[in-house]
Structures are given as structure tokens and as C-alpha cells.
Chain A
Amino acid sequence: MKNIWTIFKKEWDRVIHDRRLVISVMLLPGLMIFLIYTFMGTAIENFTTVETANIAILNDTAGFKALYEASEDPLVTDIESITAEEVVTYQEKVDNEEWHLIIVFSAGFETYAGGVDKPGVTLYYNPNNPDSSSVFGRFQGYLITYQNSLAFELYGDTRYFILETSNTAIDPNQMMGLIFSSLLPMLTIMFLFSGAMSIGPESIAGEKERGTIATLLVTPVKRSQIAIGKVLSLSVLSLLSSLSSFIGIIVSLPKMLAYENLDASIYALGDYAMLLLVLFSTVFVIVGVISILSAYAKNLKEAGTLITMIYLVVIIVSISSFFSQGAQQNPLLYLIPIYSSVQTMTAILSFDESVLTFLMLTFASNLLYTAIFIFILNRMFDSERIMFAK
């Protein structure tokens, strides 16, 4: 135990006392995510903010006015009454994307009392301009409603049946859960892996390459203690690195989701505790894999190549949360490393009912895999062919 602690401490000191490593492993990931997300959030916000809608109306009617005024925000809707002569000018403006929509009510629109010569309404918009299309869509809706109400005034209720739709009230928790659950697990696993990737190979393949591993192997310390000490310290360091990413995500998500009027405060302390448990156990598995590949590789370069290949697989597995609706319900799937962690995080974040079962399965299987990896690493440290491969 004392030896494990000694090795743990040395690996820890190696990173913590190296200012450049601390910055690149502990601070940069969180900061980068914060900056990227804040930027993305702002970009999305800008993209979705509608500028003032410009609508020109000829022969506007009181009934129609009442309809759109009830729905449109007067601050961002500019309605102008125009004359018949001005229509052409405004059409040009629409063509040049300087104006959004023209509505022309035919003369004598309101005095129609039934008959063959029906009044007409003409809309002019620019389909090439997304804003123009959007304004057109809204005002077309008002016109259809207006059309129905006028028909009712004229002929009474002519509808054959009454269609009513209703829906469940939107639960902001579930909505937020879905967004978080599709995004966070993938990002977390990716950052967890990249955190471990930036320090793991150095600790084993680097020591092999530089010949310092031999100095350690001639001490009476058991190979298993070396393996456990290294895996433990790398796990804690990777966890710190991924926590930095995690904090970056948590801090920047509200900004990113600001336009949705959602915030992350829907999760209770228990949810965060469960997430941390998943993170803890997953980091051991990731560090285990990285350590084995690093021990197998002849040098840092080879370790980097091998680990990058696994990283790609991990990314593909992590992306699965992006395409699935909620967490998988088959418990056996929770025995697949990495996939189980992604799914359990999805379950936690989307308030799945079976979350505790999934969490237990994931945690237990991750610990089992870690034990297997440490056993393999122990054997590798004992193998002269692997340790002194040239």
C-alpha cells in the first residue's frame, strides 16, 4: 500500500509541478469548452433572432388588424399602410431583400356580401430570403383564420366537423433533460478520454522510451503495485482534467441554450453525484486501456497512434447518445464498457426510471474491467519482451 502511494505521489508530482502540463491538462480543456460554447451560443442566438418584420398592407381591414396585432410583437413588427401606387416600389424592395412582405386586399374587400365576384388578397414575398418566408408563413396563417371568421359571419358555421388538438403541457425539465442527455455524455466521454490521453502515454510509454522504467523495475516493488499506483494516479489526474471540461460545459451550456429559455438548475445534487460515480468508474476503464496500449507500444509515437485508433472508436460509441431517444432499456447493454457509461449518463440526465439499476451495472462492470486491465498491466510489466522491446 505504501509503495502504491509512493508511485501515485510521484506520478502526481510529475504533472502537478509541471506548470505547462497543469495548464494544458487541467485549465485549457475547461476554458476552451467555455469559449467554444459561449461562441456557439452567441452565434446561434444571432442566427435565430428575427430582425424587425417589414410588412406593407394595402387596404388593411380592422378585422385582420385585430388578428395580427394579437399575435405579433409590435416591437419587432413594422406594418405600413401603402397606396396602390406604392405596391410596385415595395415589390422591388422585397426582390432586393429590403422588405419582407406585401399584402394587398382588393378594393371593397369589407363590403362583400356574397356573390360571384369574390374579393381577393394577394401576398408578395421573396422565397430566397428566409426571413421573408418566415414572415409570409405567419401572415398566411392569420389570413386563413381571418378567412374562416369572415365565412362564419357570412354563412354561419359551415364546418363539417370541429377539429381540436391538445397536447401535454411542455415539461421544461424533460425538455432540458433531452438536450443535456444527447449532448453531455458524448462530450464528457470524449474529454475524459482526451484528458487521460494527454498524460497516460507519457507515464508508461514515455518511461519505456527514456529508459526510466528499468530503474523502477529493479526496485523490490511488486509489478502489481507499480500498475495500481500508475493507474490510480493517472485516473485521478484524468478525472481532474475531465472535471475541468465538465465545469466548462456546465458553465457555458446556459449561454448556449439561452435562446431556449432553459437552464441547468433542473438537476438535483443526487443527479450530479450519480454522474460523478459514472465518471469515476469510467476514468479507470479509460486509463486502464490507455496504460495497456502505452505499455505495449515501443515508444511514445507508437502509443499515440494506437490510442488515437481507440479514441476514434470511443467517439463513435459516445455519439450513440446523440441519435437515441433516451437511454437503452436492455440491462445487458450496460456491461459494454464506455457504451454503458454513455447510456447511464443519458439515463441520469433524462430522468430515466431505471437509472439506479443501470448505474449499478455500469459501476460494477467498470470496476471489473479495471481489475482485469490492472492484472494484464501487471503481467506486461513482468514481460521482458514487452518492457525492453527495441
Chain B
Amino acid sequence: MEAAIQVTKISKTFTLSRKQQKIEQSKTKTKVAVNDLSFEAYPHEIYGLLGPNGAGKTTTLRCISTLIKPDMGDILVQGKSVMKEAGDVRNAIGFLTSDMKLEDFFTPNYLFDYFSKLHGVPEDLAAKRKAALFHKFGIDRFAEVKVGELSSGMRQKAQLAISLVHDPDVIIFDEPTNGLDVLTAKVVTDYLIELKNEGKAIVVSTHIFSLVEKICDRVGIILNGKLKATGLLQDLVAPEDTLEDYFFRLAQEEGDIQ
């Protein structure tokens, strides 16, 4: 099967400001966020990028979504390069991260229509999708309430629905259940499994072991910008072992924990 996402040897280095240098307690002016990282994600699967904060998960996802460009390497999304065909890549993906917010002044209803238009979705199709997604996440109850007045759970549901206006084949979620209450988190994870069953390729980043065990088919463990291990969950973790133990052993090898 052809990979929906093919990440090939990407590296990304950031220049640190003085303030960031202090926060990172680093004496160098640059930080290698992602280092020679490669993995693939296929249709009909959820690929989980597991790693601690600052490991490079979000940077990798932002490279896939074309928000930033890798310094080296390339990423193909459905055969299109993020470096050369960024517009096509954006059309094919749905990207959700906590960095991406909705404007407080508008209602979920308005914003769904707005982003549908920007994605070139025909009006009648957009209306059908809106009805289905709003119903699924219970957004219809607050569709006409300004985003600024919504609770964080409602807001995330609206963000989720809006990131899927164009029914993308590739879905990228940065920390999909972060900040969600248990009920909403279940709605979201169930929906991700539903999307996978529809044939979508899904990449999620997380630091929650249980989430990976629950929804991911394959996992990539990322530490200090490097992919330490990747594969099917059952191949990486022995039956008598847990993902958590496996992860901490890798972190120990990496020198992240004593």
C-alpha cells in the first residue's frame, strides 16, 4: 500500500532568542528540534507520535501541515511534496493543534461556512457536512454562540469539526485529547477510530500512553528530535511488557532519565 504520509529524513533547527535560551537553559543559539526523522503513515491506520514535551512532535506535525518547512529532507503527502506543492498538501490534510484557534468574535456556524469556502467545498456539500458534524459533536446546541463565549470543550469540538470541513484523506492531530473532559475526549477518540475505518490516514501526537494503546495501530517514539523506534505496537512491546516500560527504557538509554 502506498503511504499517505512519507516523512523522509527531515531536520529542523530553530534559532533561539535570549529569552528562549534562558528558558531552555541552553548556551547555544540554536536548537535542533527534529533530527533526521523518517516515518510513514498509511490509509486505514492511526499512527501515534509518542514523546515527552519538547521532543519535536509538534514541530514534525507542523512540517507535515506546511506551516513550517524542514531545513533538510522532504515530506510527501499523497505523493505531493510539502516543499514544492504546499497548496496541494494543504488541500489534502486536516490539521488540528492547540496553536490553531478560532476567532472569538464569530460563531461556529459562521466559521464552518467560512473555512468551507476557503477549502472550495460546494455550498450544498458543506451544508450536509456541517449538519452531520455538528450533530455528531453536539455543536448544534451552540452553533450560533460566539466562540469567545464557549467553554474550552465546546471550542475544541468546534475546532475539530472545522478542521474537517473539506473531508480530508489525511488527518493530523496534535495532542487530540488535551484539555478535554473525559466525555468529550471519548467522543473525539471514537471519531478518530471511525475516520480510520473510513480509510483515512491519521497521525496523532501525544504523551499519553493509554491513548496510544487505545487507538494507535503503529507508533513512533520520539526523543530529543530523533525517532528512537517505530513499528506496530505489538512488535515493539513484548506481551509481558507495557508501552510505558518500553518507553522509559528508551528514555533511559537516551539519557533523558536517570
**Interface residues, chain A, CB within 8 Å of chain B?**
2-3, 6-7, 10, 13-14, 17-18, 207, 210-212, 214-222, 384, 387-388, 390
User: Does B102 contact A384, Cβ atoms closer than 8 Å?
Assistant: no
User: Does A10 contact B114, Cβ atoms closer than 8 Å?
Assistant: yes
Choose from B67, B69, B91, B115 the contact partner of A214 (Cβ within 8 Å): B67
B136 within 8 A of A: no
User: Does B105 contact A215, Cβ atoms closer than 8 Å?
Assistant: no
User: Does A211 contact B101, Cβ atoms closer than 8 Å?
Assistant: yes
- A285–chain B nearest beta-carbon distance, Å: 27
User: Does A6 contact B118, Cβ atoms closer than 8 Å?
Assistant: yes
Q: How far is the CA of A6 from the CA of B106 in the complex (A)?
A: 14
User: Does B99 contact A214, Cβ atoms closer than 8 Å?
Assistant: yes
B179 within 8 A of A: no
Contacts of A220 in B (CB 8 A): 87-88, 90-91, 118-120
User: Does A218 contact B100, Cβ atoms closer than 8 Å?
Assistant: yes
User: Does B117 contact A215, Cβ atoms closer than 8 Å?
Assistant: no
Contacts of A207 in B (CB 8 A): 103
User: Does A18 contact B105, Cβ atoms closer than 8 Å?
Assistant: yes
B68 within 8 A of A: yes
Contacts A14-B103, A212-B102 given; indicate if A218 touches B65 (C-beta within 8 A): yes
Q: How far is the CA of A293 from the CA of B104 in the complex (A)?
A: 23
Contacts A18-B105, A211-B100, A214-B100 given; indicate if A6 touches B114 (C-beta within 8 A): yes
User: Does A218 contact B67, Cβ atoms closer than 8 Å?
Assistant: yes
User: Does B101 contact A390, Cβ atoms closer than 8 Å?
Assistant: no
Q: How far is the CA of A10 from the CA of B102 in the complex (A)?
A: 13
B21 within 8 A of A: no
**Interface residues, chain B, CB within 8 Å of chain A?**
17, 20, 65-69, 87-88, 90-91, 93, 95, 97, 99-106, 110, 114-115, 117-120, 162
Contacts of A217 in B (CB 8 A): 67
Q: How far is the CA of A2 from the CA of B120 in the complex (A)?
A: 9
- B203–chain A nearest beta-carbon distance, Å: 14
Contacts A3-B118, A6-B114 given; indicate if A215 touches B100 (C-beta within 8 A): yes
Contacts of A212 in B (CB 8 A): 100-103
Contacts of A2 in B (CB 8 A): 117, 120
- B164–chain A nearest beta-carbon distance, Å: 12
- A-B interface, 7 closest residue pairs, ranked by CB to CB distance from nearest: A211-B101, A220-B91, A384-B68, A219-B118, A220-B90, A6-B117, A215-B100
Q: How far is the CA of A2 from the CA of B228 in the complex (A)?
A: 46
Closest to B147 in A: A212
- B177–chain A nearest beta-carbon distance, Å: 19
- B167–chain A nearest beta-carbon distance, Å: 14
User: Does B67 contact A221, Cβ atoms closer than 8 Å?
Assistant: no
User: Does A388 contact B67, Cβ atoms closer than 8 Å?
Assistant: yes
- B175–chain A nearest beta-carbon distance, Å: 15
**Interface core residue of B87, B90, B91, B117 (most chain A CB under 10 Å):** B117
Contacts of B91 in A (CB 8 A): 220
- B136–chain A nearest beta-carbon distance, Å: 20
Closest to B65 in A: A218
Contacts of A216 in B (CB 8 A): 118
Contacts A6-B118, A212-B101 given; indicate if A388 touches B68 (C-beta within 8 A): yes
Q: How far is the CA of A74 from the CA of B195 in the complex (A)?
A: 96
Choose from B65, B68, B99 the contact partner of A211 (Cβ within 8 Å): B99
Q: How far is the CA of A214 from the CA of B163 in the complex (A)?
A: 12
Q: How far is the CA of A14 from the CA of B110 in the complex (A)?
A: 11
Q: How far is the CA of A259 from the CA of B172 in the complex (A)?
A: 71
Contacts of A214 in B (CB 8 A): 67, 97, 99-101
Q: How far is the CA of A318 from the CA of B37 in the complex (A)?
A: 56
Contacts of B103 in A (CB 8 A): 14, 207, 210, 212
Closest to A10 in B: B114
Known A207-B103, A215-B115; further 9 A-B contacts with Cβ < 8 A: A212-B102, A214-B101, A215-B101, A216-B118, A217-B67, A220-B87, A220-B91, A222-B87, A390-B20
Contacts A219-B119, A220-B119 given; indicate if A384 touches B105 (C-beta within 8 A): no
User: Does A219 contact B115, Cβ atoms closer than 8 Å?
Assistant: yes
Q: How far is the CA of A384 from the CA of B87 in the complex (A)?
A: 16
Closest to A18 in B: B105
- List 10 interface pairs A-B (beta carbons < 8 Å), by A numbering: A6-B117, A10-B106, A10-B114, A211-B101, A214-B99, A215-B115, A215-B162, A217-B67, A220-B91, A384-B68
Q: How far is the CA of A50 from the CA of B67 in the complex (A)?
A: 71
User: Does B93 contact A218, Cβ atoms closer than 8 Å?
Assistant: yes
Contacts of A13 in B (CB 8 A): 106, 110
Q: How far is the CA of A14 from the CA of B114 in the complex (A)?
A: 12
Contacts A3-B118, A6-B117, A10-B114 given; indicate if A218 touches B104 (C-beta within 8 A): no
Q: How far is the CA of A17 from the CA of B87 in the complex (A)?
A: 31
Contacts of A10 in B (CB 8 A): 106, 114
- B101–chain A nearest beta-carbon distance, Å: 4
Q: How far is the CA of A215 from the CA of B165 in the complex (A)?
A: 12
Q: How far is the CA of A215 from the CA of B99 in the complex (A)?
A: 9
Q: How far is the CA of A311 from the CA of B206 in the complex (A)?
A: 46
- B211–chain A nearest beta-carbon distance, Å: 23
Contacts of A387 in B (CB 8 A): 67
